Structure 1
Amino acid sequence: MKRRVSALALALCLMLTAPVMAAEGQPTRVKTYDGQFSDLDAGSVFYENAAALYEYGLSVGKADGTFGPKDAVTVGQLLIFTGRVRSLWLTGDPERGADAFRSEGQRAWEPYLLYLQAEGALGTELDGLYDSAATRAQVAHVLAAAAPADSLPLINDDVVTQGYAARLYIPDVTEYTPYYQDILFLYRTGISQGSGAGGAFHPQEPITRGALAAMLTRMVDPALRVTLSWTVEPEFPSAAGTTLRSLIPAGTYIAAPTTAEEMDQSIRYMLAGGQNTLSLRYDSLTPVTARQAMEQALATVKTYCEQCYNTVSCTYGADGTLRLTFSAANTGGSLPAYRDETMAAAIAVHDQLWEDGLLRSDMTQREKARVYYTWICDNCVYDYGASDSSLSHIAYSLFTRGTAVCDGYTGAYNLLLKLEGIQCTALSNDEHIWTVAVLDGTQVHIDTTWADSGSVIDYTYFAMTPSQSWNQHPW
């Protein structure tokens, strides 16, 4: 018959018990293990833990001289071990805690149950289960509840929180698993590391004496606790931390560029430096040559349309100094914020496509570029009402509003390709602009704007050869 103690009787028991004093320092080993368990040798999986259990005075093994590492543990036996551990922590003696609750006719586990209940470490939630095999979830609950406050530092707190939240580790435990918070506590404190690469806990499986010995001895001996070396970075290559300036191959500053290549060098020097102004100096400068240099610089900036610059202003002096300032129409002082939001949105798209499995490491560049081609068309509509000063001319509008015209389409698409490390630029004629990319070593032309001009995505404009592109829009 189960023994129940009234609150009054329990109070009297506590009054008759000597005050519980915390032992000084960590529990110490009081015995020396010298092969007392006949079924264990130095090569046994739980040898170190079973030996430590003996040396701390927490177990003398079974009556036949064995330890039985593969044997199941009943809930009652779990309470005996756990009560001893708590008493060892708080009094320095594994039996002192239960001694105050011993009486005639008890089951072996009853004084330990009463001790744990008196300590507030356990209630009646396991009533009726004391002769049943203890599940690993029940073990987690009892051990976590019985651990003295602040006795177990959370040595794995960050890695467990991140790994579990990302569903990379402990895959068989959810918020619906009984005692799931107690299970996570065992991982956080180094009491459990689970099994397999994912650290599975197997919460509903019966605990074995060997596995329980490992958990118990890790509770009392910091040297036996497990520091988890889990890798918690996402399995996909996150683009977090990428900046617009980092997507530009560094150029060499040329003070007086005359050719398209020299202007490209100077523009890349500016963009890679995170600047939007470029100072040039020519031996002689007239209004005509200043305008020509400005137009050449603007045309070059538009080939990097993911940077969101599409206008330029200039000042020049009689000494030949030309100062170019790049911006985007109708953005004013907000352009730096627009650029930041554009970059953040592109990173979010990149990471989500990888996380969803639409992008994979075994895909070719062509396959990845097609995924982004589809995403652009699925998430944008052409802005037929856009004026020359509309935000639809920059990638910001596509990512934040879902509307764009050709330079907005192309800028957003090129930005996504560059996050994949795909080399690309923008090519234009007097009326249109599109992407030129190198996919798996082959140069192709891609027009996301025209691909999105009908009711369904037109893949005719994906990965065109230069001659096919010329037939569509010569340059």
Structure 2
Amino acid sequence: MKKQALSLLLALSLMSVPALAKENSADNFVRGKTYAGQFSDLPEGHTFYENVAALYEYGLSVGQADGTYGLTAPMTVGQAVIFAGRIRSLYRTGDPEAGPAAFTAAAIGLKDAQRVYAPYLWYLQAEGVLDKALDEQLANVATRAQMAHVLANLLPETVLPPVNDSLITQAYASRRRITDVTEYTPYYNDILKLYRCGISVGSDETGSFLPDSPITRGAAAAMLTRMVDPSLRLTPDWHLPELYSAEGAAYEDLVTAGTYIAAPETAADYDQAVRYMLSQGENTLSLKYDQDFTVSSAQEALNNALLAVKRHCEQGYNNASCSYNAAGTMILKFSSIAGDRTEEYRSETLSAAIAVHDALWQQGTITPASTQREIAWAYYQWIAANCTYDDAGDNTSVSHLPYSLFHNGKAVCDGYTGAYNLLLKLEGIDCYALPNATHIWTVATLDGETVHIDATWGDQGNTGTKQYFAMTPEQSYSLHPWPKENELPQ
């Protein structure tokens, strides 16, 4: 064991120290050596050639005792800690060993492997850049997530600025990049910091980090040398519009899928059945009741289904026809005032809403840092600036559809509400339409709070008034009371 420990120390030993060291300075990161093929397993053109060569030239590694660097060998947690300790000490003192050296004597009584790692671990902990989470795992192969944890707080922001901050925030928020990292991933904040600082761009075109995978010495060299050399840091080649664009969204994507109920009875049953239909991209719902199905039973079922569809007025359906028989079989088909052009209007409406969504993102009106309330306010203002109330609209007018708001610049309340809810749902904001006998408006969950928003009454010319935005249920009820059964069933 002593011979192996000595070999490890030699393999990781340093060969040079900056002649003119400064305290707490990136100027101490100097290439004091020249790589000239010292590692037999590092061919020119290798993915990590530049990084491993830089690791040698910065004096952070002389490789393994057999003359190789060990590109594909796994790196242990302890080895990652050693490299991190040297980088920290080099920045702080100009000497990669000065910091850990102060803790060497305390490690004398430890086992060989522990003795190697301990001074670097204790040094990093004394510096306040590493916690004790990995203390018992030093001999284990390091995961990529653990490597991120070791490196995340190693250098101050002045040395390691978040040059990719906006891009990474937007990419991660879109859930189109770095999709294998969530808030449940160990050290996920540390991982995202590496992306923000240009230390990692992931392993594929979607930026996957592979947090649970073991990290090889080659991949570790890439991260380590990017810490000390700004010229090696990376910016992901991600097209910003692709990250925020809602292009490709479909109506069925905007519905929380329900469960098919063949014979709905309660308002909650009808909501489930209608949501199931909408989430399948369908406009026909087949129901099967017991025998002795009557005209009044059919009318009640039709009314309940229409109310359920009305809560999803962003889908562009506001009419229904039905056929039934005494055996209890009932077929409901949903359409709109547009008749045979319903699907054409729906398609054009969604395309127009996506264009508005993308424009507000491109303009910076909405950003990854925007709260849901701020996003909802932005669309509230857009509608006020781009629509007027259609005083001439009658019961047959397309102004009852969100299509009219986007394409004609005029609407009545269900057109306003349908368009507004469509924009909110493109942002993933949970909302539904709440009607009473003469009006309809939005109930939304913004940043965890249930609020009422009346985009119709809020349209006061070119700007939206705050009075009808994000009202409490009590404030809303005082303006336009509604029957309890019209609320979305819980």
- TM-score normalised to structure 2 length: 0.50
Alignment partner of 1:297 is 2:305: yes
What's 2:323 paired with?
315
What's 1:349 paired with?
356
Task: Give distance in 1, aligned partners of 2:409 and 2:416.
Answer: 10
Aligned with residue 267 of structure 1, among 263, 267, 274: 274
Q: Give the aligned residue type for 1:321.
A: T
Alpha carbons of structure 1 residues 404 and 254: separation in structure 2 relative to 1, 3 Å? same
Aligned with residue 389 of structure 1, among 381, 396, 399: 396
Q: Give the aligned residue type for 1:470.
A: Y
The sequence identity of aligned pairs, in percent, is 54
Decide whether the 8 Å contact of 2:399 with 2:412 is kept in 1: yes
What's 2:209 paired with?
none
Task: Give distance in 1, aligned partners of 2:242 and 2:279.
Answer: 29
Deviations 1:252-273 (A, max 9, x none): 1101000000000100111001
Task: Give distance in 1, aligned partners of 2:444 and 2:236.
Answer: 40
Decide whether the 8 Å contact of 2:385 with 2:462 is kept in 1: no
Alignment partner of 1:469 is 2:473: no
Task: Give distance in 2, aligned partners of 1:409 and 1:381.
Answer: 9
Alignment of 1:42-53 (within 5 A): 42=34
Decide whether the 8 Å contact of 1:427 with 1:433 is kept in 2: yes
What's 2:133 paired with?
none
Deviations 1:47-81 (A, max 9, x none): xxxxx9xxxxxxxxxxxxxxxxxxxxxxxxxxxxx
What's 2:254 paired with?
247
What's 1:14 paired with?
none
What's 2:439 paired with?
432
Q: Secondary structure at the match of 1:294?
A: helix
Decide whether the 8 Å contact of 1:236 with 1:354 is kept in 2: no
Alignment of 1:371-382 (within 5 A): 371-382=378-389
Task: Give distance in 2, aligned partners of 1:317 and 1:42.
Answer: 88
What's 1:210 paired with?
none
Q: Secondary structure at the match of 1:324?
A: strand
Task: Give distance in 1, aligned partners of 2:476 and 2:392.
Answer: 26
Q: Secondary structure at the match of 2:457?
A: helix
Task: Give distance in 2, aligned partners of 1:448 and 1:396.
Answer: 15
Deviation at 1:456, TM superposition (A): 4.8
Q: Give the aligned residue type for 2:444.
A: A
Q: Secondary structure at the match of 1:448?
A: coil
Task: Give distance in 2, aligned partners of 1:313 and 1:375.
Answer: 35
Q: Give the aligned residue type for 1:458.
A: T
Q: Give the aligned residue type for 2:297.
A: T
Alignment of 1:30-49 (within 5 A): 42=34
Q: Secondary structure at the match of 1:249?
A: coil
Task: Give distance in 2, aligned partners of 1:271 and 1:459.
Answer: 33
Deviation at 1:233, TM superposition (A): 4.1
Alignment of 1:74-153 (within 5 A): none
Alpha carbons of structure 1 residues 467 and 41: separation in structure 2 relative to 1, 3 Å? closer
Alpha carbons of structure 1 residues 335 and 460: separation in structure 2 relative to 1, 3 Å? same
Q: Secondary structure at the match of 2:377?
A: helix
Alignment of 1:171-182 (within 5 A): none
Alignment of 1:177-188 (within 5 A): none
What's 1:444 paired with?
451
Aligned with residue 283 of structure 2, among 276, 290, 296: 276
Decide whether the 8 Å contact of 2:320 with 2:333 is kept in 1: yes
Extract unaligned runs of 5+ from structure 1: 1-39, 45-51, 53-167, 169-195, 198-227
Decide whether the 8 Å contact of 1:373 with 1:413 is kept in 2: yes
Q: Give the aligned residue type for 2:261.
A: I
Q: Give the aligned residue type for 1:319.
A: A
Q: Give the aligned residue type for 1:240.
A: E
Alignment partner of 1:457 is 2:464: yes
Decide whether the 8 Å contact of 1:236 with 1:351 is kept in 2: no
Deviations 1:200-249 (A, max 9, x none): xxxxxxxxxxxxxxxxxxxxxxxxxxxx9722242752111110111011
Task: Give distance in 1, aligned partners of 2:462 and 2:245.
Answer: 33
Q: Give the aligned residue type for 1:257.
A: P
Deviations 1:389-411 (A, max 9, x none): 11100101111111100000000
Decide whether the 8 Å contact of 2:436 with 2:481 is kept in 1: yes
What's 2:293 paired with?
285
Q: Secondary structure at the match of 1:450?
A: coil
What's 2:487 paired with?
none
Deviation at 1:339, TM superposition (A): 0.7
How many residue pairs end up in the alignment?
258
Q: Give the aligned residue type for 1:356.
A: Q
Alpha carbons of structure 1 residues 286 and 235: separation in structure 2 relative to 1, 3 Å? closer
Task: Give distance in 2, aligned partners of 1:374 and 1:256.
Answer: 42
Q: Give the aligned residue type for 1:367.
A: E
Q: Give the aligned residue type for 2:401.
A: I
Deviation at 1:454, TM superposition (A): 5.2
Alignment of 1:405-416 (within 5 A): 405-416=412-423
Alpha carbons of structure 1 residues 399 and 234: separation in structure 2 relative to 1, 3 Å? same
Q: Secondary structure at the match of 2:445?
A: strand
Deviations 1:7-44 (A, max 9, x none): xxxxxxxxxxxxxxxxxxxxxxxxxxxxxxxxx98459
After TM superposition, which residue ranges in structure 1, 4 or more long, deviate above 6 angstroms? Answer: none
Alpha carbons of structure 1 residues 338 and 411: separation in structure 2 relative to 1, 3 Å? same
Alpha carbons of structure 1 residues 259 and 293: separation in structure 2 relative to 1, 3 Å? same
Deviations 1:151-207 (A, max 9, x none): xxxxxxxxxxxxxxxxx9xxxxxxxxxxxxxxxxxxxxxxxxxxx99xxxxxxxxxx
Deviation at 1:452, TM superposition (A): 1.1
Deviations 1:91-132 (A, max 9, x none): xxxxxxxxxxxxxxxxxxxxxxxxxxxxxxxxxxxxxxxxxx
Decide whether the 8 Å contact of 1:236 with 1:355 is kept in 2: no
Task: Give distance in 2, aligned partners of 1:370 and 1:434.
Answer: 15
Task: Give distance in 1, aligned partners of 2:342 and 2:325.
Answer: 27
What's 1:398 paired with?
405
Task: Give the stretch that moved more between structures: 436-445 or 280-289.
Answer: 280-289
- TM-score normalised to structure 1 length: 0.52
Q: Give the aligned residue type for 1:379.
A: N
What's 1:132 paired with?
none
Task: Give distance in 2, aligned partners of 1:294 and 1:383.
Answer: 28
Alignment of 1:331-342 (within 5 A): 331-342=338-349
